[in-house]
Amino acid sequence: MQGGQIVQRLRDRFGGAVLETHEHRGDATLVVERAMLIDTLAFCRDEAALAFDVLMDLTAVDYLKYPGREDGPRFEVVYHLYSLGHNHRVRVKTRVDEDDAQVPTAVDLWPIANWFEREVWDMFGVRFAGHPDPRRLLMYEEFVGHPLRKDYPINRRQPLIGPSA
Amino acid sequence: MAERTRRQILLGEGSGTGSGGNLQVGVGPAHPAMHGIIRIEAELDGETIVGADVEIGYLHRAFEKDCEVGGYNNAIPYTDRLNYVSPLINNFAYASAVEKLLGIEVTERCKFIRTAMAEISRICDHLTCVGASAMELGAFTVFLYMIKAREFLWELVEDVTGARLTISYGRVGGVKADLPDGFAAKMTNAFKETREVLDEVHRLLTGNRIFMDRMVGVGVLSREETIGYAITGPLLRAVGVGYDVRRAQPHWAYDRVEFEIPIQKDGDNYSRYLVRMAEMEQSMRIAEQALALMPGGPVNVDFEGRPIDPAAYVDQGKQGKTEGLLLVPIRLSPNLQGQNRGAWDRVNAHDKRVVLPPKETTYGSIEGLMNHFMLIMEGYGIQPPLGEAYFASEGANGELGFYVVSDGSDRPYRVRCRPPCLPPMAALHRMIEGEMVADLIPTFGSVNMIGGELDR
Amino acid sequence: MGVGSFFTSKLDEAIGWARKYSIFQYPFVTACCGMEYMATACSHYDIDRFGAGLPRFSPRQADVLFVVGTISHKMAPVLKRVYDQMTEPKWVVAFGVCTCTGGFYDNYATVQGIDTIIPVDIYIPGCPPRPESVIDGLMKLQDRIATQTQRY
């Protein structure tokens, strides 16, 4: 299916829950409401015409300092889906505020979401509700803060041993 | 187990074993038989692994944060060090992601160079993977042979890029320099040596009883789970799914070369080994075709007249003696070989907002100098329009994706690398549960975990 | 100079000579530099020529700790522990610029030089160092081993 058709199919199905769509540089993209996120992802996976069986990537972006987005929801959680059978891709995004940085987990749909979500929690501090193992993935437990947030200075070190400078 | 915090494990405090009936064994992060730093907290019943918790992050070096600090091209050295066994693929994939964001197309010759060099890199990666995992099973000869072959390929890479390992050869909009003279002959020779080594390794390993006993039926992951864990690359092809980004979404020049996608169906370590061995042959085939089909005529064009020294060139420009100066070739230092004007045209996208001008123009004309500064100065540089793009290419371990978000400035707002070896590591516990402790080593070897890319 | 000190210095020389050609190294390989380490150790460059061909993958049996590759803050306690497990006499080689100073990873995750954690004898810069510079570093280490005051 072409990108436009995928977007249209999901728009038809979810209507008002799709907040925004675009196809910048040919990447079909949808922004959906958080409440409908898991339904959208499940539909993407299970609908025969879409059949997105691989969660290729799951990450987040901190829009704290993005021009024009300073006041909007701070985080975007980004899902890149791929279908082995149809050889097509879609990007599904959802937006969350800083004081309510929580997204339902997709572990039940794809087991790989487990580690990807742990990484997003580690790096951005976005929680995944219902995650079976909500630990940090890359940093150590003693680490305070979430380094990929735009307000975390790149060289603020928190050594376990050795000098802290 | 629960009362021991990770700090105790890391710092060696605490008692060492758990209190349950099963034995808790920590493998890694600095383990003799594993090439890579991860920690596997294994729960053993006798010699059988009944549960495993894989811990990563020991090589987290803030790749994604570092990318946000400099300009778009400044991220390229960091991409070298993601998958440091096949850095060329990372370079090109990142550059292509930014090109997609900019909406520009690179030249034909550049596409073929990227294809050929990426395949050379892929061979190096598979050689290291197979060699190192064979060594961990005691086949040290194989390791020596394969590193020997890799050395031939590295000499090739060094010829083109100037470095052996961390090459920084890709550029947004092109590559650093054109291929040097006599590259084809050197490649033919290096491939001949590599093929001999592969033949020897086949005879040493492929039918070897000891090797097969350790590999066949070990570390199996079912097709469903492989897909559920988003595993791509050799591990996916080892369960019978012929997904290869080079075929599914052809980029660079992959749609113009012929190659096969090796497939096995058992999903065990041995299948993965066979897939990798077959892929190396295909990669050589692709590189040979890419070189044969490469457009652009001779590699280094001789100019009329004698080349002059860059300093003298600049002096003449300063004195206003610019008449005909742009036509005078500069004697470039060996570091800049392949970046003269003729080569520059062939390998770089013709877009002044993206690609640095050739050195003659920089030294010899005020426009060129300004163009150069505009791309280097902070606050100018490459400025893609607002937006986001995801570019996928086939890394040595599977789909290597770069997701780049631009805020319109000269620095990437966010660079995300989709690491090909993170999904298999997330599924590693599924591969080793139920196996013997000793099977952990070949399974871990067959996953080909690369720390730089896994932890970023 | 007494007869005793004459013999001591000769004994020192003899022990230094023996130690310098029987380096049992522990490669603490973490990152990219490991690829160059492999290349140095294998047939093309062959550090066996310098008596350092046999890696011991146990700190208790090794004399020289090769710290090969970036050390993150998460890895630092592990490195310290490995160093502590080694028996005297022991030497440390910082292999690659990340171990020397942190290199271009000036960020929250990376240790800015392993000499903030453990003492270092020889620094081999480079990102990664070419096998030639590794061999050069190894020879400098051998000189240091041969000429130092030996404890036994």
pLDDT in tens, A4-57: 888 888 888 888 888 888 888 888 899 999 999 999 999 999 988 888 999 999
User: Largest Cα–Cα distance in chain C?
Assistant: 57
- The reply to whether residue A56 touches residue B230, judged by beta carbons under 8 angstroms, is yes
Chain B CB contacts of A115 below 8 Å: 422-423, 425-426
How far apart CA B359 and CA C137 sit, in angstroms, is 36
What is the per-residue DSSP string for C72-106?
BTTTHHHHHHHHHHSPSS-EEEEESHHHHH-TT--
Do C47 and C141 contact (CB within 8 A), yes or no?
A: no
Give the pLDDT of residue B299. Answer: 32
Write down which chains contact chain B via at least 3 CB pairs under 8 A: A, C
CA dihedral A93, B79, A159, C56 (to 10 degrees): 130
Mean pLDDT of B352-371: 79
CA separation for the pair B182, B180 (Å, rounded): 6
Confirm if C40 and C131 have CB atoms less than 8 A apart: yes
Distance of CA B269 to the CA centre of its chain: 22
Looking at the partner chain, which of A140, A155, A165 has a beta carbon nearest the beta carbon of C107? Answer: A155
Query: How many beta-carbon pairs under 8 angstroms link A with B?
Result: 104
Q: Inspect the interface and report whether the beta carbons of C44 and B81 lie closer than 8 Å.
A: no
Residues in C 42-101 with any Cβ partner in A closer than 8 A = 73-74, 76-77, 80
The CA-atom distances, in angstroms, between B344 and each of A135, A153, B146, B176 are 49, 38, 35, 9
For chain C, say whether A164 makes contact (Cβ under 8 Å).
no
Structure tokens at B331: 């004697």
Confidence of residue B360 (pLDDT cuts 50, 70, 90): confident
Q: Token pair for residue B150?
A: 């890799």
Helix boundaries (H) for B107-232: 108-136, 140-161, 183-201, 209-215, 223-228
Q: What are phi and psi of B215, to 5 degrees?
A: -105, -40
Average pLDDT, chain B: 83
Q: Are A106 and A117 in contact (CB under 8 A)?
A: yes
- List of chain C residues with pLDDT < 50: none
How would residue B17 be classed by pLDDT, with cut points 50, 70 and 90? very low
Task: With CA atoms as reference, report the closest residue to C107 among A80, B61, B99, B89.
Answer: B61
Q: What is the mean pLDDT of residues B285-312?
A: 63
With bands split at pLDDT 50, 70 and 90, how would you rate the model's confidence at B8? low
Residue A13 CA neighbour count, 13 Å, CB half: 19
Cα-trace Rg, chain C: 16
- The residue of chain B with its CA nearest to that of C59 is B32
Instruction: Go through A105-143 and write b for each residue having 16 or more CB atoms within 10 A of its CB, e for each that does not.
Output: bbbebbbbbbbbbbbbbbbbbbbbeebeeeebbbbbeeb
Would you call B66 and C105 a contact, using CB atoms and an 8 Å cutoff?
yes
Q: Give pLDDT, residue B195.
A: 93
Q: Side by side, which strands form the sheet with C122-124?
A: C25-29, C64-68, C91-95, C122-124
Task: Using an 8 Å CB-CB cutoff, list residues of chain A that contact chain B.
Answer: 24-25, 27, 29, 53-57, 59, 61-62, 65-67, 78, 80, 84, 87, 89, 91, 110-112, 114-116, 123, 136-142, 147-148, 154, 160
User: Do residues B172 and B95 make contact, with C-beta atoms less than 8 angstroms apart?
Assistant: yes
Closest residue of C to B125, CA-based? C35
- pLDDT confidence bin for B14, thresholds 50/70/90: very low
Sheet-wide strand order for B387-395: B387-395, B398-406, B412-418
Which residues partner with B49 through β-bridges? B44
Which residue in B30, B61, B148 is closest to C70 by CB distance? B61
B164 — contact with chain A (CB < 8 Å)? no
DSSP C110: B
Rounded CA-CA distance C93/B37 in Å is 19
Burial B13-34 (b: 16+ CB within 10 A, else e): eeeeebeeebebbbbbbbbebb
Closest Cβ opposite residue B147 in set C28, C42, C109: C42
pLDDT at A112: 92
Write phi, then psi, for B243 (nearest 5 degrees). -85, 125
Q: Name which of A135, A161, A164 to mutate to probe chain C: the one with the most chain C Cβ atoms within 10 A of its Cβ.
A: A161
Q: How far is B449 from chain A (nearest CA, A)?
A: 15
| Number of residues assigned to chain C | 152
pLDDT at B451: 84
pLDDT of B169 higher than 80 = yes
Residue A163: CB atoms within 10 A of its CB come to 10
Query: In which residue are the tokens 């990770």 written?
Result: B6
**pLDDT confidence of residue A78:** 93
| pLDDT of C2 | 65
pLDDT at B325: 65
Reported as a pLDDT band with limits 50, 70 and 90, residue B298 is very low
Those residues with Cβ within 8 angstroms of residue B224's Cβ, 6 or more apart along the chain or in another chain: none
Q: Is the pLDDT of residue B297 over 50?
A: no
Radius of gyration for the alpha carbons in chain A, expressed in angstroms and rounded: 17
CA atoms within 13 A on the CB side of A139: 23
Widest distance between CA atoms in chain B: 87
B312 — pLDDT class (breaks 50, 70, 90): low
C→B contacts (Cβ < 8 Å), by residue, are: 28-32, 34-36, 38-39, 42-44, 57-58, 69-70, 72, 74-75, 77-79, 81-82, 104-105, 107-110, 127-128, 130
- Write down the pLDDT at residue A157: 86
Cis amide prior to B29 (ω within 30 degrees): yes
Give the CA count within 13 Å in the CB-facing half-sphere of B2. Answer: 1
At A63-92, the pLDDT tens digits run: 988 888 888 898 999 999 999 989 999 999
Q: Does C70 sit within 8 Å of B165, measured CB to CB?
A: no
| Residue of A29, A41, A61, A138 to mutate when probing chain B, most B C-beta within 10 A | A138
Euclidean distance between CA atoms B446 and A63, whole angstroms: 39
C118-142 CB burial, b ≥16 within 10 A, e <16 = bebbbbbbbbbbbbebbbebbeebb
Q: Map residue C144 onto helix, strand or coil.
A: helix
- Cis? peptide before B234, omega within 30° of 0: no
pTM of structure: 0.88
Helix (H) or strand (E) holding C24: none
Dump strand ranges (E) for B287-386.
Answer: none
Gap between the Cα atoms of B414 and B424, Å rounded: 25
DSSP sequence for B15-53: -SS-SSSSEEEEE-SS-TT-SS--EEEEEEETTEEEEEE
Query: How many other CB atoms are found less than 10 A from the CB of residue C151?
Result: 8
Tell me how far apart the alpha carbons of residues B382 and B375 are, in angstroms, rounded to a whole number. Answer: 6
Are residues A54 and B230, on separate chains, in Cβ contact within 8 Å?
Answer: yes
Percent of chain B residues topping a pLDDT of 90 = 27
Whether B29 and chain A come into contact, CB under 8 Å, resolves to no
Q: Which residues contact B187 (CB under 8 A, 6 or more apart)?
A: B116, B120, B156, B287, B288, B291
Of B285, B61, B214, A34, which Cα lies nearest the Cα of C109? B61
Residues of C in contact with A157 (CB under 8 A): 73, 108, 112
Distance CA B115, CA B430 (A): 35
Q: Do B452 and C39 touch (CB under 8 A)?
A: no
Do the chains contact at B37 and C36, CB–CB below 8 Å?
A: no
Instruction: Please name the residue of chain A whose CA is at the shortest distance from the CA of residue C74.
Output: A140
C106–A162 CB contact, under 8 Å = no
> Which residues of chain B does A87 touch, with a Cβ-Cβ cutoff of 8 Å?
248-249
Residues of A whose CB is below 8 A from B232: 54
pLDDT at B301: 29
Give the orientation angle of helix A3-14 with respect to helix A37-46, to 10 degrees.
130
Residues in chain A: 165
**pLDDT at residue number B16:** 46
DSSP one-letter code for B74? G
Q: What is the DSSP letter of B204?
A: I
Give CA–CA dist B252/C41, Å, rounded.
36
State how far the Cα of B39 lies from the Cα of B425, in Å rounded to an integer. 11
Residue whose tokens read 């077959």 = B278
- The one-letter code for the residue type at B221 is L
CB contact under 8 A, C73 and A160: yes
Q: Do A67 and B64 touch (CB under 8 A)?
A: no
Question: Would you state the torsion angle of the CA atoms of residues A122, A128, A129, A135, taken in this order, to the nearest 10 degrees?
Answer: -30
Nearest C-alpha neighbor of B169 from the set B115, B88, B90, B98? B88
Bridge partners of residue A18, in order along the sequence: A32
What is the ipTM, given to two decimal places? 0.93
